[in-house]
């Protein structure tokens, strides 16, 4: 880890890290995500420091989210000025993040992330057309890593999630590198001071309005003061150990999975069930990632996939994040998109799933054998009986989206919520129940750009 380093030595440290970890190779094209803050400004400068040594082409990408118009516009003008002065090719994207979030029924945090990824793809095609060796460089550092591990722990991550952010990772069609994960915030500020650079400070970073900010500003200080003054180092040690285990087990799982894969996204069930639990869980994660689910999965998804393998019947299926469906055949299990040809599925499944923020023990899925709803009068009713009583047509019963906690149905999603997510279109939802039916003791609220389940008492 890079504890402290002056700006005169940091260039060599940075060069050694990107070379030893294989993050860059000669003639790579680098797109630096440049917000204008200290971290991204430091990253851009370090790449400019080593670009001749490593024969790199370095460009910058900036997204003006329009959340605080005057501030965002000044920030964009500043990063454009820096890039002109330093001869750095530059691409900027401007959008109204708040309006887009409302339109899509998402949080501004999620919408901002989508905008940034869209900007990276656009910049890549414009600044480096027809080039394959383009890498997006992001400025997450050591302190961010500790926050990420704690966030994932609170959200119910599996062992892989405890390893934190990867130095290099394929995210959709982007190859993302994070060269500053060994650098502390203090080192970054020392480097900028040595360069005589004054970064833009985003005041929202000091407001507990987002989950990460709450971790940074509220929870971590409490943990340092009341429980462990070295909590960040403890989290980083956890990430390092989990990362080493992950690397070894990934290799083993990849070898095992190759032997039971019959074709793309299709695997032999018996082979999976013969894996030891730890290896099978890792294989299931790799299967989800190969199907396009690179994040937003938790241990609850792995548990439900295991249940489908062990006790599921032919035709049984699970809706996973981003609208990916895992379906069981006689001898094989396979993954596909919900709107795949031949699969009649409600539209906008991915958008619906991403509009909910649920506890890790709850998932959005279709009905399964044994499902029931708890009644306000006490007792329970079979989901099948509910659908009959509500006159839900048989042809759509297997497609209705449910919020479930194991076999207990927390909510049967109806038109009142679905139309808020996909407004103004009602295509595909006209036959759904008009109102969302909640199990006893639960309610749904809309807060922070997401629908969230609340439990009474």
CA 35 from chain centre, in angstroms, equals 20
DSSP string, 129-177: TT-S-EEEE----HHHHHHHHHHHHHHT--GGGGG-S-SEEEETTEEEE
Which segment, 65-74, 247-256, 305-314, 357-366, is predicted with the most confidence on average? 247-256
Distances (CA, A) of 343 to 111, 325, 336, 340, 346: 29, 10, 9, 5, 10
Model pLDDT for residues 354-394, shown as the tens digit of each residue: 788 888 788 888 888 889 999 988 889 999 998 888 888 77
Of 301, 286, 295, give the one whose Cα is nearest residue 253.
286
What pLDDT shows up at residue 374?
92
CATH tag, 7-139+178-227: 3.40.50.620
Model pLDDT for residues 16-40, shown as the tens digit of each residue: 999 999 999 888 999 999 998 999 9
Q: Where are the domains of the chain?
A: 7-139+178-227, 350-457
Is the pLDDT assigned to residue 131 strictly greater than 80?
no
Model pLDDT for residues 391-440, shown as the tens digit of each residue: 887 767 877 889 999 899 999 998 888 877 765 444 556 667 888 999 99
Kindly report the pTM of this predicted structure: 0.66
- CA gap 374, 364 in Å, rounded: 17
- CA gap 368, 401 in Å, rounded: 11
């Amino acid at each position: 880890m890079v504890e402290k380093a002056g700006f005169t030595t940091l260039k060599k440290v940075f060069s050694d890290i990107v070379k030893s970890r294989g993050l860059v190779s000669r003639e790579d094209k680098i797109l630096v995500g440049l917000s204008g803050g200290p971290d991204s400004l430091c990253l851009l400068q370090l790449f400019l420091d080593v670009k001749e040594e490593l024969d790199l082409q370095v460009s910058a990408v900036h997204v003006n989210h329009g959340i605080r118009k005057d501030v965002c516009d000044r920030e964009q003008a500043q990063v454009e000025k820096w890039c002109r002065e330093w001869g750095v090719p530059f691409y900027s994207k401007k959008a109204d993040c708040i309006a887009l979030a409302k339109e899509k029924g998402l949080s501004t945090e999620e919408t901002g992330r989508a905008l940034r990824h869209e900007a990276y793809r656009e910049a890549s095609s414009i600044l480096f057309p027809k080039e394959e060796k383009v890498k997006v460089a992001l400025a997450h550092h050591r302190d961010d890593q500790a926050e990420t591990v704690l966030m994932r722990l609170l959200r119910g991550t599996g062992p892989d999630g405890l390893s934190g952010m990867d130095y290099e990772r394929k995210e959709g069609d982007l190859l993302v590198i994070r060269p500053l994960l060994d650098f502390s915030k203090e080192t970054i500020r020392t480097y900028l001071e040595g360069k005589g650079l004054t970064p833009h400070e985003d005041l929202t970073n000091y407001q507990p309005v987002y989950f990460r900010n709450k971790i940074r500003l509220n929870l971590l200080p409490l943990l340092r003061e009341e429980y462990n003054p070295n909590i960040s180092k403890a989290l980083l040690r956890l990430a390092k150990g989990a990362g080493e285990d992950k690397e070894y087990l990934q290799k083993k799982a990849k070898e095992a999975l190759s032997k039971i894969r019959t074709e793309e996204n299709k695997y032999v069930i018996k082979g999976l069930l013969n894996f030891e639990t730890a290896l099978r869980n890792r294989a299931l994660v790799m299967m989800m990632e190969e199907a396009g689910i690179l994040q937003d999965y938790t241990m609850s998804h792995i548990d439900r996939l295991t249940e489908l393998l062990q006790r599921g019947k032919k035709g049984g299926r699970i809706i996973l994040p981003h609208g990916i469906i895992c379906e069981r055949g006689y001898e094989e299990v396979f993954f596909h998109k919900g709107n795949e040809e031949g699969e009649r599925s409600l539209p906008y499944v991915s958008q619906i799933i991403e509009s909910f923020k649920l506890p890790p023990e709850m998932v959005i899925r279709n009905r399964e054998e044994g499902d029931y709803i708890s009644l306000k009068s006490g007792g329970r009713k079979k989901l099948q009986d509910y659908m009959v009583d509500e006159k839900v047509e048989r042809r759509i019963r297997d497609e209705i989206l449910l919020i479930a906690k194991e076999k207990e149905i927390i909510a049967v999603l109806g038109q009142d919520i679905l139309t808020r997510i996909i407004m103004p279109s009602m295509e595909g939802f006209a036959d759904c129940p008009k109102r969302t039916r909640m199990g006893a003791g639960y309610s749904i609220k809309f807060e922070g750009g997401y629908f969230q389940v609340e439990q009474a008492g």
